[in-house]
């Protein structure tokens, strides 16, 4: 992924209002987000479906899809998880909803693309956890597995019929990992 040479602040990043959704700010550097392929899209769609059904059935808020979250200011960090959940009571009711969200998610889900380097994903996970995210899920359509990285430092890899339990964030949420993969 291409990085601009100069350091960039969150304020600069927010001025990119027309294009910000296709860029992430990592360590103060702007990165173009590669458009996802079909496998990625299929997996993201299933994840959205599973989470959206659950939170609607519970009357909970709020799921964000491909939304920029400001996670740090020095150096600037703003990431775009495929799916994120933020508890309603943590959202400022007067926020500017046309701008990146200023509150970190409780849960962030990243779908791993063939173009993502492992070091890059590790850095993203660290950025999320350092910002206060409770759980980061890395969902890999090729390996058909989910890595759950927790704020307390634990990490586990789940596959197939393994059950992902997110009780701490979404009370009662359990799903077989295979549900995230269409074929």
Q: Any idea which of 35-44, 58-67, 164-173 has the lowest mean pLDDT?
A: 35-44
Of 2, 40, 48, 47, nearest to 24 by C-alpha is 2
Q: What is the pLDDT of residues 95-113, one digit of tens each?
A: 999 888 999 999 999 999 8
In whole angstroms, give the CA distance from residue 64 to residue 68. Answer: 9
Neighbours of 58 (CB within 10 A): 12
pLDDT of residue 44 exceeding 60: yes
Structure tokens of 92? 């400022």
- When pLDDT is cut at 50, 70 and 90, the band that residue 84 belongs to is very high
What are the tens digits of pLDDT across the range 53-67? 999 999 998 999 999
Which pTM value belongs to this model?
Answer: 0.89
Which residues 6+ apart lie within 8 Å of 133 measured at CB?
Answer: 104, 105, 106, 107, 108, 151
């Amino acid at each position: 992924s291409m990085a601009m040479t100069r350091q960039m602040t969150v304020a600069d990043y927010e001025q990119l209002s027309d294009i910000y959704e296709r860029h992430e700010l990592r360590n103060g550097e702007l990165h173009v987000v590669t458009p996802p392929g079909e496998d990625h899209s299929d997996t993201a769609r299933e994840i959205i479906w599973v989470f959206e059904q659950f939170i609607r059935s519970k009357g909970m808020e709020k799921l964000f899809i491909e939304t920029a979250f400001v996670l740090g200011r020095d150096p600037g960090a703003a990431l775009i998880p495929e799916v994120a959940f933020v508890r309603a009571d943590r959202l400022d009711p007067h926020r500017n909803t046309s701008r990146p969200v200023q509150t970190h998610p409780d849960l962030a889900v990243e779908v791993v693309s063939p173009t993502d380097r492992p070091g890059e994903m590790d850095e993203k996970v660290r950025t999320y956890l350092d910002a206060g995210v409770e759980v980061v899920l890395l969902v890999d359509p090729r390996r058909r597995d989910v890595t759950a990285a927790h704020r307390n430092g634990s990490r586990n890899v789940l596959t197939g019929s393994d059950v992902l339990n997110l009780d701490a964030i979404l009370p009662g949420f359990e799903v077989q990992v295979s549900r995230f993969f269409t074929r």
